[in-house]
């Protein structure tokens, strides 16, 4: 899928559809469902901008295809774990770990290293936040952790998409 616009919209629509199907047919109706839905919707919005930006500058090679495949699988797992506190926190953490490993591979093949380093740092902050959410969930605070994740992720995205955009050269 070489066309960046097609790739962007395909990813956005596929992840949106997965989220809708998951919410309607698979999600556990629980107090954590609203913050999970908020987190997931914000993630889809962020993914639109991320795919739109990086698909224009990143080469298509086997390593990128492999990590993108892992990211798609984890994204779908996250969608279908909405409403399940531990599982959702676990897959959110896995998704950020995988995303954090995607961009260092690009440091060797594209010249926009400042953008990549910033994206890596942001993804590592997301990884740390998701690890804290998983820890709080395991410690017995799943609702508080879910809301902290939803609010923190939303505020982070307002900052990194609107105030100080991360997806620009």
Please tell me the predicted confidence (pLDDT) of residue 1.
58
Domain count, the chain: 1
Contacts of 121 (CB under 8 A, 6+ apart): none
Please check whether residue 169 lies inside any domain of the structure: no
Question: CB count, 10 Å around CB of 63?
Answer: 14
CB 71 within 8 A of CB 95: yes
Please check whether residue 102 lies inside any domain of the structure: yes
Please tell me the predicted confidence (pLDDT) of residue 98.
96
Q: Is 16 helix (H, G, I), strand (E, B) or coil?
A: helix
Please check whether residue 93 lies inside any domain of the structure: yes
pTM for the model: 0.95
pLDDT of 146 over the 80 cut: yes
pLDDT of 126 over the 90 cut: yes
Please tell me the predicted confidence (pLDDT) of residue 105.
86
CA proximity to 86, closest of 152, 149, 16? 149
Please tell me the predicted confidence (pLDDT) of residue 158.
98
Please check whether residue 168 lies inside any domain of the structure: no
Please check whether residue 154 lies inside any domain of the structure: yes
In the block, tokens 């998701």 appear at 130
């Amino acid at each position: 899928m070489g066309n960046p616009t097609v790739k962007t919209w395909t990813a956005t629509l596929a992840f949106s559809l997965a989220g809708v199907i998951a919410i309607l047919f698979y999600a556990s109706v629980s107090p954590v469902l609203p913050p999970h839905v908020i987190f997931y919707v914000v993630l889809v919005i962020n993914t639109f901008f991320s795919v739109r930006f990086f698909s224009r500058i990143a080469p298509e090679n086997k390593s990128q295809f492999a990590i993108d495949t892992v990211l798609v699988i984890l994204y779908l797992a996250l969608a279908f774990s909405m409403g399940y506190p531990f599982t959702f926190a676990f897959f959110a953490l896995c998704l950020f770990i995988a995303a954090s490993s995607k961009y260092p591979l690009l440091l060797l093949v594209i010249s926009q290293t400042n953008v990549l380093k910033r994206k890596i740092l942001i993804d590592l902050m997301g990884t740390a936040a998701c690890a804290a959410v998983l820890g709080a969930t395991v410690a017995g605070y799943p609702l508080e952790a879910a809301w902290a994740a939803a609010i923190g992720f939303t505020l982070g995205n307002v900052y990194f998409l609107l105030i100080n955009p991360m997806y620009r050269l």
